[in-house]
Chain A
C-alpha cells in the first residue's frame, strides 16, 4: 500500500459566533505562476528571494492611466517618478510608452540622461540639487522645480551670471483638507509665499516660469484633495496671466494616487476603498477645464504618478526558512525575505499567497523575515495554509519603493527579473555578491592583519 502524502498536523480553536466580516478570504489561493511563468521555475533559476516585474501589467497600468486622463483633457504628459523604481529596464518601459522623467537627485538625473531621456523632458524636483547639478540641468534645458528661496536665489544668480535662459517651475504646498499637510517642500500657497516666489521669478529676465507644481501627499484616498489642489494651482496660473501677461506652460499635479495595497491599521482591504484612476482624473481635469482658461491657453497637465503605476506589476518570491511556535502558542513562520528588501512591509499588510497547492486547512501566524532584529516582521497576523520549510510564497504589489528603498543590511540584495510580454524572463538587476560590497571598502594598512 502506498503511503499518504504528508501534511503537518494542525489544530485550531473555532470561535463560534464571530464570523469573518469579509466572508471567505481568497488570500490563500495558491499563485503558481506569474504571466504564465511558473514561480518554482523562476526560483530555481534565479534564487530565492527574487523580485519579479511583469512588463505586461506595467504597460497595462501605464496605458490605462494615460487613457483616463487623455480622454478627459487635451494635453496630458506623465513623468515617471524615478524614486519609485529606478531600475533602468523599468524606466525604459515607461519611456517607451512616451513618459518623461521626474527626478529628485543628481543621481536620478544622471540615470535619466544615461537612459537617453532628452534633457528638456526631465523635471528636476527635490530640495537637494548641487550647484554642479543645477548647471548641468540648465545646460540640458531641463525644468528646475524650485523648492525653497535659497535655491531660487542660487538659480537666479547662476542664470544671470551665465546669461542663460533657465526654465523653472515652482513647487507649491497647500492646505487640501488632508492632514498632516506636506508643507516642508516648496512654497506655501495660503500665506502668500508661493505668489512671492512667482513674482521674484517673473522679475528675473533670465528665468522662464514654465510650470507650477504640487505633490500633495502619497496614497491619497480623497480625490477631493486633488480638486482643491488643482484649483489652487489654476488660481496662481490665472493671476500670473492677469498680472504678468504670461501663460504658464504646465500644471504638474505630482503623484500620490493610491495603489491597491492595504494600509496597516486599516480595517478595510485597499482594493475595496481606493479611488479609481478615472476618479482622480475626473477630479483634476474637470477643475482645470472649468477654470476659465482660453482653449488655446489650456496648460499642459503633468502627472508624476508613482506607486499606482507599478505596485501591482511587482512581486516578491520567497521561501520558508523555518516554522516555530512562540511562547504564547502562536505559530511563527520565518521567511527568507524581511523588511530589509520589503521596506513597504512597514506601511502595508502585503497580500501573500502560497506558491503551491495545499489542503484547505489554514493557520493564523506571524511572518518574520530572516534578520536577527526584532523589527523584522513582514505580517503581524496572517492566515495561510500549513507552510513548512522550503515552501514558496508570492508577495503581491511590491513594485513601488521596495527596489529603491531596500537596504543592504545583514543580507545582500537579490536578483530582479522582468517577464516580458512574450513570457520570457530577463535579469534586470543582478544579485549583490560579497565582491559588489567589498569593492567599496578599503583597509588602512595598520589594520590589515591580526593574530587571534
Chain B
C-alpha cells in the first residue's frame, strides 16, 4: 500500500499524487488499514477470518480480487 494515501474512518481514500478519491466499505477499510500497517496479504486474510463470519475459500477469492483493484487504481505497488 502506498504510504501517502489518506484514509478516513468513514471509508474515503485520497491519493495526493493523483488527486483521485475513492470510497470503500468497512471490510475494505479494515483490509487497507492492515496493508498500510505493513501486513502481508496472508496476514490480512488471517485477520479477516478472525473478525468476520466467512469461509476461507471465499475471503481468499474476494481478497485477491480487492487487491487487484487496489493495484489497478495504483493505490498499491505491484510488488505488494
Query: Are A3 and B53 within 8 A (Cβ)?
Result: yes
- In the assembly, what is the distance between CA of A201 and CA of B68, in Å? 72
In the complex, chain A residues whose CB is within 8 Å of the CB of B68: 325, 329
For chain A, the count of residues having a C-beta within 8 Å of the partner chain is 19
Judge if B43 is at the interface, Cβ distance under 8 Å.
no
Does A75 reach chain B (CB closer than 8 Å)? no
Chain A residues lying within 8 Å of B23, measured Cβ to Cβ, are 11-12, 14, 361
Q: Which residues on the A side are within 8 Å of B62 (C-beta)? A: 8-9
Does A409 lie at the interface of the complex (its beta carbon under 8 Å from any beta carbon of B)? no
Complex CA–CA separation, A13 to B70 (angstroms): 10
Closest CB of chain B to A7's CB: distance in Å? 6
Find out whether the CB atom of B70 lies under 8 angstroms from the CB atom of A11. Answer: yes
Chain B residues with Cβ below 8 Å from A6 are 27, 52-54, 58-59
Residues 38 to 80 of chain B near chain A (Cβ within 8 Å): 50-54, 58-59, 62-63, 65-66, 68-70, 72-73, 75
- Pick the residue among B13, B25, B31 that contacts A359 (CB under 8 A): B25
Question: Of B12, B20, B66, B72, which is within 8 A of A10 by CB?
Answer: B66
Measured CA separation A16–B28 after assembly (Å): 21
Q: Are A13 and B20 in contact (CB under 8 A)?
A: yes
Interface size class for chain B?
20 to 34
In the docked arrangement, what's the CA distance between A329 and B70, Å?
Answer: 10
Q: Interface SS of chain A: helix, strand, loop or mixed? A: loop
C-alpha gap A10/B28 in the complex (Å): 6
For window 312-327 of A, CB contacts with B under 8 Å fall at 325
**Measured CA separation A329–B22 after assembly (Å):** 15
Report the separation of the CA atoms of residues A13 and B69 in the bound assembly, to the nearest whole angstrom. Answer: 10
**A341–chain B nearest beta-carbon distance, Å:** 28
Q: Are A9 and B63 in contact (CB under 8 A)?
A: yes
Cross-interface CB contact of A13 among B52, B58, B66, B73, cutoff 8 Å: B73
Please name all residues of chain B whose beta carbon is closer than 8 Å to the beta carbon of A8 when the two chains form the complex: 27, 62, 66
Beta-carbon nearest neighbor of B72 in chain A: A329
Q: Which residue of A lies closest to B73 (CB)?
A: A13
Task: Check: B21 CB closer than 8 A to any chain A CB.
Answer: yes
Asked whether B69 lies within 8 Å of A11 as measured between CB atoms, the reply is: yes
Q: Chain B: which residue is nearest A12 at the CB level?
A: B23
Main secondary structure of the interface of B (DSSP, over half): helix
**When chains A and B are docked, how far (Å) is the Cα of A13 from the Cα of B18?**
12
Candidates A5, A14, A361; contact of B52 at CB < 8 Å: A5
Q: Smallest CB–CB gap between B5 and chain A, Å?
A: 11
Enumerate chain B residues within 8 angstroms of A4, measured Cβ to Cβ: 27, 51-53
Closest to B62 in A: A8
Given known A10-B28, A11-B13, A13-B73, contact A5–B53 (CB-CB < 8 A): yes
Chain B nearest Cβ from A72, distance in angstroms: 52
Given A3-B51, A4-B53, A325-B65, are A10 and B73 neighbors across the interface (CB < 8 Å)?
A: no
Asked whether B27 lies within 8 Å of A11 as measured between CB atoms, the reply is no
Contact check: which of B21, B52, B69 meets A329 at CB < 8 Å? B69
Known A4-B53, A329-B72; judge A9-B21 contact (CB<8 A): no
Chain B residues near A233: list those with CB within 8 A: none
A9 close to B27 (CB less than 8 A): yes
Cβ–Cβ contact B52 & A3, under 8 A:
yes
Closest residue of A by beta carbon distance from B21:
A14
**Known contacts A6-B27, A16-B21, A329-B72: does B54 contact A11 (CB below 8 Å)?**
no
- Nearest-neighbour CB distance to chain A for B27, whole angstroms, equals 5
Q: Which residues of B contact A325 (CB under 8 A)?
A: 65, 68-69
> Of residues 322 to 363 in A, which have CB atoms within 8 Å of B's CB atoms?
325, 329, 359, 361
Is B25 a contact partner of A10 (Cβ separation < 8 A)? yes
CB distance from B68 to the nearest CB of A (A): 6
Interface residue? A386 (CB, 8 A)? yes
- Tell yes or no: B4 within 8 A of A by CB: no
Residues of chain B within 8 A (CB-CB) of A7 are 25-27
| 18 CB < 8 A contacts A-B | A3-B51, A3-B53, A6-B59, A8-B27, A8-B66, A10-B66, A10-B69, A11-B24, A11-B28, A11-B75, A12-B23, A14-B12, A14-B21, A325-B65, A325-B69, A329-B68, A386-B25, A388-B58
| Chain B residues within CB distance 8 Å of chain A | 12-13, 20-28, 31, 50-54, 58-59, 62-63, 65-66, 68-70, 72-73, 75
Not counting A3-B50, A329-B69, a sample of 8 additional A-B residue pairs whose C-beta atoms are within 8 angstroms of each other reads A6-B27, A6-B59, A9-B25, A10-B66, A10-B69, A12-B24, A13-B73, A16-B21
Return the 3 tightest CB-CB contacts between A and B, nearest first.
Answer: A6-B54, A9-B28, A3-B53
